Amino acid sequence: MDYDPNTNPFDLHFSGKLPKREVSASASKVVEKKWLVKDEKRNMLQDEINRVNSENKKLTEMLARVCEKYYALNNLMEELQSRKSPESVNFQNKQLTGKRKQELDEFVSSPIGLSLGPIENITNDKATVSTAYFAAEKSDTSLTVKDGYQWRKYGQKITRDNPSPRAYFRCSFSPSCLVKKKVQRSAEDPSFLVATYERTHNHTGPHASVSRTVKLDLVQGGLEPVEEKKERGTIQEVLVQQMASSLTKDPKFTAALATAISGRLIEHSRT
């Protein structure tokens, strides 16, 4: 969308040939004139770049708004769908022996989630349970996960088969929102935080800078290539896919990408 019909490659060709010409007295005047023309053209181009730049900004904002609406709609769809089909997902769940085994299997075999975070939903009449995995610094002991919602911590426990504690959170948006989550470092790979969500929010989705957090996690977090255990390889792979899918569906990331691309185009057109 940044193609500009007014942009003329003339300048480049001209300047490229300049040094090779023999310079006579009359020719130098011609060159001088051409330089003036070039200056004028450069100014015009600069104006044009500025105009396109501001246009890009507006388009980016529009895109962000559209994506935000899409995101909200997507959340709603997700909620409706999870209310509809309780049995199919539950089947697999009941066959498993322990809670923790279930958690792991769920992670390894599950399809990629629809939106940022949840990989799989398990629904019954009482509650919706979903699990999400976040990359985290090993040194970070806070057990907080930036998923865009606001949480109030109400407990912390040491569990039997995991050296790191489990933290319990409630959604603090409103007392009527009954969503809870548990966050604990993965026993298999301590560079992940495992967040387990119960029920669905009865209010609008996250407004915080989720995409920025995800970007940060990608930079800081455990996405360096790891090639040790088989299990870990699978976990890494799924996480990468999940994040990729999350990012492409995240409006703010899309907007940021658009801005970045337009920035690059402008930069390119300057050279």
Partner DNA sequence: CGTTTTTGACCAGCGC
Partner DNA sequence: GCGCTGGTCAAAAACG
Q: Which residues bind DNA (CB under 7 A)?
A: 99, 142, 144, 150-161, 166-168, 172, 180, 182
Between CA 265 and CA 130 the distance in angstroms is: 41
Using a 10 angstrom Cβ sphere, with 0-12 exposed, 13-18 middle and 19 or more buried, the burial of residue 34 is middle
Return the number of the residue (114 or 145) whose C-beta is nearest DNA: 145
Nearer to DNA, 156 or 234 (CB): 156
C-beta closer to DNA: residue 34 or 166: 166
Least Cβ distance, residue 205 to DNA (angstroms): 18
Cα dihedral: 78, 82, 84, 85 (round 10): 130
Shortest reach from residue 146's CB to DNA, in Å: 12
User: In the structure encoding, which two tokens stand for residue 100, read together?
Assistant: 């923790």
- Comparison of 34 and 170: residue with beta carbon closer to DNA: 170
Q: Shortest approach of DNA to residue 270 CB, angstroms? A: 43
Q: In the chain, where does DSSP find H-type helix? A: 10-17, 25-84, 87-95, 99-109, 210-220, 230-249, 251-270
In the bound state with DNA, the residue whose beta carbon lies nearer, of 123 and 184, is 184
Closest contact distance (angstroms) between CB of 141 and DNA is: 9
| Contact of 38 with 17, CB cutoff 8 Å | no
Closest separation in Å from C-beta 187 to DNA? 11
Least Cβ distance, residue 245 to DNA (angstroms): 28
Q: Which residue, 50 or 159, has its beta carbon nearer to DNA?
A: 159
Q: What type of residue is 117?
A: G
- How are strands ordered across the β-sheet holding 120-123? 120-123, 128-135, 192-198, 180-185, 166-171, 151-157
CB atoms within 10 A of CB 33: 10
DSSP state of 111: P
Please work out, in degrees rounded to the nearest 5, the angle formed at the alpha carbon of residue 98 by the alpha carbons of 180 and 112. Answer: 60
In the bound state with DNA, the residue whose beta carbon lies nearer, of 26 and 95, is 95
Nearest approach, Cβ of residue 90 and DNA (Å): 17
Phi-psi group of 143: left, alpha or beta (phi > 0 → left; psi -120 to 50 → alpha; rest → beta): left
